[in-house]
Amino acid sequence: MNSGNAAQKSWVTSDGSPWWFRSSTYNEPNGDYHANCYLDLWHTPKNEDSITWNDGSCSYHAKSYYCQLAKLSLKPKPGSPTGCVCENVALTGKYSAKMLIKCKSCLDVRKSTQKNSCPMGTKLFSPASRADWKVLIDSAKPLRSPHWIIDVTRPQNGCGGCTGSPMNSGVAAQRTWGTADSSPWWLRSSRYSEPNGDYHANCFLDLWHTPANENSVTWNDGNCNYHSNSYYCQPAKKKAVPVPKPPPAPVAPIADYKSRNKACTYTDKLPGAPLGKNAHTVIMSLGVKTSDFKKRQWLFNLGQAGSGANHWLWNNGNKIQFGAWGGTQISKGDILTGYPKGSMAKIIASVYDGKSYSLYIDGKLVEKKAVSNLDVKSGEIAVGTNNIYKNEDAFKGCIFGVNIYRKPLSPNQLELASATMPQKLEK
């Protein structure tokens, strides 16, 4: 099991780099592998020849793991000339960008806005410190074709801090100068006679004299006269993945009717045209009184006092009977126990979608039934009163608020709307 075995070429790493487990066969993977899942190195190896693993039906995961540098391609950027070649530079010490690449006979560039041949994931070089320059000078020679260009530019004409301040990214006066990946850059810690003002926006500087050491780097801006088809490249600093903005907080739907009365029972009228057979939602918050139940008590009626109205009754001491007056009804919601079980019901809601009715108690769907004969012919609202039918009792508890919507609310909307309902009478 290794990348050099043609029979195992379907197994790969995330960067396409070579990999190796062992040069001999092993009894895993045995066939229960799931696509893209990690293997488990399930036994501690005694030595480099005893690596073992298991595929295990995608059962393996971890929140702690070893990482390594990803392989970086040396292939010139697409669109580069045929003779363009990029090769790794052997470094004599630690370079902050980790790697230096020399690209020769490539795309000729004079501005940072132009496409260069640096391999994908890299950019023109820009040492970040004096220490970086020491490693570079010890490891490589100036690369002039015809000029030695460096990725330090600014997006405006002129010289920024000019000759009055040292040229490095740690100097505030020079912060208009930058690199393609916004990484730190350093030319020297002392002032120099360049840039002297003839700089053109986005043009590369020329490292015009060969530095004797890391303290003698020199450059010129030179009216955008500097360009090259050979240059050093280095890995680009990866841009931080922006943290996505949290989605806007969900907002409760706006009720077409909302009552917050000081009395426990009352009558009112729904604004606008009668609902007729159209979809709608009713939400009620209430306090239940369990004593002195004699016969059915009116909780709510929407519409006419008769067939087709949307009416709610408290029946049998603990059940809600609701639906179309004289038509299909539900009578199984226990408003004494509420949900979770053992608590008193606080919110009752009915959702009519034009075909069926759904009863919710404290956010829990109790039952859903097809209703064919609902027809609300007026906007009259009776909340807790029995004035529409005196043979039943008025509600002996207290209704704190009622919301009516001219549409069927989804369960999520219902939850949001229910959270806005009062749990006591408003003063």
Domain residue ranges in the chain = 1-71, 72-238, 257-418
* Among 415, 411, 381, CA closest to 399: 381
- Other Cβ atoms closer than 10 A to 316: 13
Tokens at residue 152, please?
Answer: 């330090």
- Measured CA to CA, the distance from residue 83 to residue 104 in angstroms comes to 8
DSSP 267: E
Percent of the chain with pLDDT over 90: 71
152 Cβ contact partners less than 8 Å away, ≥ 6 residues apart: 126, 167, 177, 178, 179, 185, 187, 204, 205
Q: What is the pLDDT of residue 339?
A: 53
Angstrom distance (rounded) from CA 169 to CA 152: 10
CB atoms within 10 A of CB 269: 10
Q: Widest CA span of the chain, in angstroms?
A: 108
Residue 105 burial (CB < 10 Å; 0-12/13-18/19+)? middle
* Percent of the chain surpassing pLDDT 70: 95
- For residue 290, the model assigns a pLDDT of 67
- pLDDT-based confidence at residue 345 (cuts at 50, 70, 90): low
Confidence class for position 101, pLDDT limits 50, 70, 90: very high
Question: Residue 303 in contact with residue 267, Cβ under 8 Å?
Answer: no
With vertex at residue 129, the alpha carbon angle to CA 227 and CA 132, rounded to the nearest 5 degrees, is 75
Q: Does 262 score more than 60 pLDDT?
A: yes
> Lowest mean pLDDT: which of 53-67, 89-103, 235-249, 381-395?
235-249
| Tokens coding 365 | 């769907």
Query: Does the pTM exceed 0.75?
Result: no
Residue 249 to residue 247: CA distance in whole angstroms:
6
CA dist list (Å): 312 to 16, 333, 345, 381:
67, 11, 15, 12
Give the CA distances from residue 164 to residues 157, 158, 186, 206, in Å, rounded to whole numbers and listed in that order. Answer: 17, 13, 16, 19
pLDDT of residue 337: 62
Q: Please check the confidence at residue 292 and state whether its pLDDT lies above 80.
A: no
**Which fold does the domain 257-418 belong to in CATH?**
Jelly Rolls (2.60.120)
Q: How far is it, in rounded angstroms, from Cα 259 to Cα 366?
A: 25
Residue pair 158/214 in contact (Cβ under 8 Å)? The answer is no
Model confidence pLDDT, tens digit, residues 359-414: 998 888 888 999 888 999 999 999 999 988 888 899 888 899 999 999 999 999 99
User: What pLDDT shows up at residue 344?
Assistant: 62
b vs e for 52-76, b when ≥16 Cβ sit within 10 Å of the residue's Cβ? bbbbbeeeeeeeeeeeeeeebebeb
Could you tell me the pLDDT band of residue 91, with boundaries at 50, 70 and 90? very high
